[in-house]
Structure 1
Amino acid sequence: MSYDCLSSQNLWGEDKFKWTRFIGLEIWYTTSSGHRKIEEQLLQENNLDVWLNGALNKKDYDGNQWTRPCQMVIASDDGKRIPRSSLEKCLWALLSHSQLQFAFDFAMSYPAGISALPFRVVGDNEIHTYTLANHPKLAFLWKHVIPRSPKCGDTTCKNEEADMTELRLLKPDGYTFGIVFVDSQEYENLSKLLHHQWSTNLVSHPMFPAFISSLHLNFRINRIHQHIKTETRRVEARTGHHCFNSLQQFPAPGDLRELLATMSGFATKIAGTTRKMEFLREVYRFIHTQIDSNYDGHKLDLIEGEERRNCMDMGEQVRLMEHRLAMQRLENHYILSRVEVQMNAMFHLTAQQDSVNGIHIANATQATAVVSLQESSFMKILTLMAVTFLPGNFVAALFSTSLFGSETAANMITIANKPLFALFWIITIPLTLFIYIVVVCVFIQNRNTLKKIRHAQDQLTNGSQERRTS
């Protein structure tokens, strides 16, 4: 079978024992007054069997008959370290006793969806099994047991009637047993939902776990919307891109780039809420499908008695939630539009800041270029001075020429030119002129090269402007 093959996959991770806390909830009501109560118990290895094998009916000290239409187990992580062997025993005991092992494997095999597995007939009971998964926060698997009345006239009728005594005291809908695997952060919300004083018609309905899951996801969507709107108001106060005159919000701290990344994350969250809302639509459609058809294929108009009232009550609740979901879809689109406006605003503001920073950098570069030009002019002067004096120094050093001589006569010192003095100038002056000519030629060549580069840049600039104009 295809679903048997799919259940071999596990998209939730290899560790199936990450849930360290098992809380058992039993919903009881009286058949006479309709009063309800919820009993909660921490399930451990030493008390699990007693809780699982508890009676479906009991009497209190006042003689009131109490019936248990729903029994739930909430599995979550409380952060405590519990031996793996104990967790394995508790989990496998729950799955084997409730015959939900296959439902558990199937629920772990797909990220989001709700399914009805093929129903089975075990003894005198019809067992309908359902799975709901929304990775990685929630997985719900439950069964709804419908008792079959013994066949009158059968030789075994009396024995079967003795075994069915407890089941006959239940409503025609039977009873529900479910196990929900929930993230530790979502445990409190789901626990509050299950502790709510729901009507007996809803609790006894086979789709009650699906309805509770839809409420849980609905609350999660509301929390995400509220958080994103709060942070978006702060960003709007920071950017000023809004038209809310009554906006009283402190500006969001941090750099615009950090806020832009945050708003991008909010856009991703909104995409996640869109996925959740589409999933809720499928859940509501699934509930309607189960309401409109009896397990033998009969329609709702053929169902009579209390079972019909249960289906109608559940249908009315689901229609109310569908209308609420339509409003949430509108709110989701509105929040996404506000987030996108702020993302565009911050993108343009960041671009403006980058442009201003670029202008400052260009001005600083221009000032640096002016200073460099001044230093270059000064270096030209030094170069000319070096050209002027170095050739003579070179010639003097080369020839070790003594240009002047002194004579002492009658206590007087006279300085006279030596014959090499004229030779010094004959060599130095042409050599200096030659070096000047070489330096001037190099300067002229560099200037012409710069003119060609500037002319090419001007042509490229004019060409781009002409293309933009055309």
Structure 2
Amino acid sequence: MEEIYQNLTTLKQWGGDSSNETSLDVTELWLEHASGKIKSRDQTVEADGVHGWLSQHKRGSGDQAESLVVRFVWVDVDVKDKVIRLSDSARDVLLASFGLKLAYGYSRSVISGVTAFPPRPSGPDFDQRTYSFCYIPKIAAVWSHRRPTKLDGPAPVTQCIMFVQGDERKALRQGLRMSWDLSIYRNPMFPALALSLLLGAQIDGSNGGIKVQLRRVEKRTGYSTFASRQGEEAATEELGSLSAQTSGSAAKLASTMRKTKTLERLLDFIRRMVDEDESRLRPSAADGTAQSGVGDGVSQSALDGCGLLRTHVDLLKERQKNQLLDTEYILKRVQVQIDALFSIITQQDSLHNLKLSQSTHEIAYSSYRDSSSMKTLAVVTMFFLPGSFISALFSTPCFDWAGVDHLSNGIGVKPTPQFSLYWAITIPLTVVTFTLYLVWLWVQKREKNRVFGAKAARLQTDSDGDRDVEEAEGQSLARTRRQTLMARRH
């Protein structure tokens, strides 16, 4: 029956390396026989005293007599480095003594959930059942409950290993110091009850923190009809940070929703285990009453504890339903603010785009005016260019101005022989300049064609490769079909 749990131990979902820590941080609940009160004691057990500590279930005598009821071992977990701060040797000793090897191995294959393992006999006078709870990466717990099989057997003892971080450890220790009925302490579901109280408190704290942050966002966006949110100027410059905050709140609420569902499953599990214990204890209590007229005190006390625990669980389930409604309501409000911030950011972007468009229009108009000025300057330059060229040409010593008769009415002037040299140099240089320009254009065009040709060839190669793969798959599928048809015919 345990083989399914053993096979699943290979699927390790949490916990990585182990440290060299050998000392144990322990919280124990002891029953004072004289007063009937439960006393909580915290201690650190060193490696050389572990075996003696594990064997100690009773101490004192007479009015000082005490018996162990519940034992918690706290193991720190480094979530960032994925390290369990307990040595392998110390862990193995605890698991063997508490009977938790199977529960621990299976729990590491679970991210979130609670499990009850099949009961097994652990001695001639008592049997034992183990349980596990996981809410990774924050909390993991495995515990065993030993209960007597005879009237004069040893008292029930619950032994638990908690893999938690500092904040969770502190909260759980405070929960253990609360006042409960002795039958609650001795119930095998007492660790589960403590865990459910922790989860409920964390849900309330998480929702409370998100509400405070959400109120600030609602004030800044103005998307709220609450009177306390009115009168504050809407956000303009901090939209990005507000959007990041609301998105973070949505993610945290999703985690809170997961925690709420986990709490619901844990409470349902406690209720189911209580019903099983009641069905087991009721015949024993009835038989004891029929035989002696008094009844089995141990069974009757455990039966009363089951009824009391059921009442506690019913109350916690009502609180869990209210927490679920509150979480869903906050999530709706956060979603409204996310949509509001998206709308505001979109509006701001539209306004910025409008301003940018106006600025672009102004720049275009200024460019148009500059273009008109340049065109006017070019026209004026072209108007004076022929005259400037002729003036420059006449200023060269290519004309015989000395032989001109200033008293004559003629306008002719004889060119010098060097005038032909001017044209002999100017015309070839002009031809060479335009030729080099045309060659440069041709080189640029050829380079561009080469680049585009290489890209087109790569695309064609990829397309051919995909086509070859499709053809190969088609041929393989056709062969498979033929083989199937032949097999059916034979």
TM over 0.5: yes
Q: Unpaired segments of 5 or more residues in structure 1?
A: 151-160, 422-470
The one-letter code matched in structure 2 to 1:123 is G
The answer to whether residue 103 in structure 2 is matched with residue 110 in structure 1 is no
What secondary structure does 1:127 align onto? strand
Larger relative helix fraction = 2
Equivalenced residues, count: 394
Alignment counterpart, residue 325 of structure 1, candidates 304, 310, 320? 320
Q: 5 Å matches for 1:427-438? A: none
Please give the alpha-carbon distance, in whole angstroms, between the structure 2 residues aligned to 1:210 and 1:225. 22
Residues 291 and 300 in structure 1, CA contact (< 8 A), matched pair in contact too? no
Q: Unpaired segments of 5 or more residues in structure 2?
A: 286-298, 415-490
Please give the alpha-carbon distance, in whole angstroms, between the structure 1 residues aligned to 2:85 and 2:25. 18
Per the TM alignment, residue 331 of structure 1 is displaced from its structure 2 partner at its CA by: 0.6
The one-letter code matched in structure 2 to 1:67 is S
Paired residue for 2:417? none
Per the TM alignment, residue 299 of structure 1 is displaced from its structure 2 partner at its CA by: 7.4
Residues 11 and 111 in structure 1, CA contact (< 8 A), matched pair in contact too? yes
Residues 70 and 204 in structure 1, CA contact (< 8 A), matched pair in contact too? yes
Paired residue for 1:363? 358
Q: 5 Å matches for 1:218-297? A: 218-247=200-229, 255-294=238-277
What secondary structure does 2:227 align onto? coil
What secondary structure does 1:198 align onto? coil
Alignment counterpart, residue 335 of structure 2, candidates 336, 340, 347? 340
Seen in structure 2, the aligned counterparts of structure 1 residues 345 and 94 have a Cα distance that, compared at 3 Å, is same
Q: 5 Å matches for 1:418-429? A: 418-419=411-412
Paired residue for 2:52? 50
Per the TM alignment, residue 31 of structure 1 is displaced from its structure 2 partner at its CA by: 3.7
Percentage of pairs with the same residue: 29
Seen in structure 2, the aligned counterparts of structure 1 residues 92 and 323 have a Cα distance that, compared at 3 Å, is same
Q: TM-score, length-normalised on structure 2?
A: 0.73
Seen in structure 2, the aligned counterparts of structure 1 residues 214 and 253 have a Cα distance that, compared at 3 Å, is farther
The one-letter code matched in structure 1 to 2:260 is M
What secondary structure does 1:47 align onto? helix
Residues 130 and 144 in structure 2, CA contact (< 8 A), matched pair in contact too? yes
Q: 5 Å matches for 1:386-465? A: 386-395=381-390, 397=392, 400=396, 418-419=411-412
Seen in structure 2, the aligned counterparts of structure 1 residues 13 and 392 have a Cα distance that, compared at 3 Å, is farther
Alignment counterpart, residue 183 of structure 1, candidates 158, 161, 165? 165
Q: 5 Å matches for 1:35-184? A: 35-54=37-56, 56-59=57-60, 63-76=63-76, 87-124=87-124, 125-149=126-150, 164=153, 167=154, 170=155, 174-184=156-166
Q: TM-score, length-normalised on structure 1?
A: 0.75
Seen in structure 2, the aligned counterparts of structure 1 residues 219 and 6 have a Cα distance that, compared at 3 Å, is same
Please give the alpha-carbon distance, in whole angstroms, between the structure 1 residues aligned to 2:11 and 2:69. 33
Paired residue for 2:346? 351
Seen in structure 2, the aligned counterparts of structure 1 residues 217 and 129 have a Cα distance that, compared at 3 Å, is same
Per the TM alignment, residue 349 of structure 1 is displaced from its structure 2 partner at its CA by: 0.9
Please give the alpha-carbon distance, in whole angstroms, between the structure 1 residues aligned to 2:407 and 2:198. 118
Please give the alpha-carbon distance, in whole angstroms, between the structure 2 residues aligned to 1:197 and 1:396. 116
